[in-house]
Amino acid sequence: MKARCISNQTSALAPSQLGRSDPSDYAARITIGHDYTVLGMSILNNALKYLVRDDTGDPFFAPAGHFECAASTLPEGWSFALRDGISAVGREAWSKPCSAVWGYDALVSDPSHAGALEEGEQAAFSIFFAQWQAAQQSDSDD
């Protein structure tokens, strides 16, 4: 799935497009006008995020408001899962921020994979980059 970057400043997004823990004014490492391969999506702190490879090459859960994405079917091989955050209330919502996730197998089947990406763990990065390469190959075959 491809999405075109239309914004890279959180200050340009509506508050509803940001999660509770997102900084209110930062510049994401994504380039306006550039198309990004979306490898997964999550609802994190009540905000929809796209998992993309940012301009430094790292995995990045970017607010979906930074992108425009034409209606399309989900990529082949994606799956979906609800997470504990779907029923979290009060203080528990802070410790269980993820409500739902879509994407490649490890992202969906391993609840710790997204956090491992954010922590820069090499094993998670290897899985992410393999998925990114496969998506690029699929795009070039189309």
Q: Which tens digit of pLDDT belongs to each residue from 90-106? A: 777 767 788 999 999 99
CA proximity to 60, closest of 48, 49, 69: 49
Question: Each residue of 12-54: pLDDT tens digit?
Answer: 898 888 887 777 788 899 999 999 999 999 998 889 999 999 9
Helix (H) or strand (E) holding 118: helix 113-118
> pTM here?
0.89
How far apart CA 34 and CA 32 sit, in angstroms, is 6
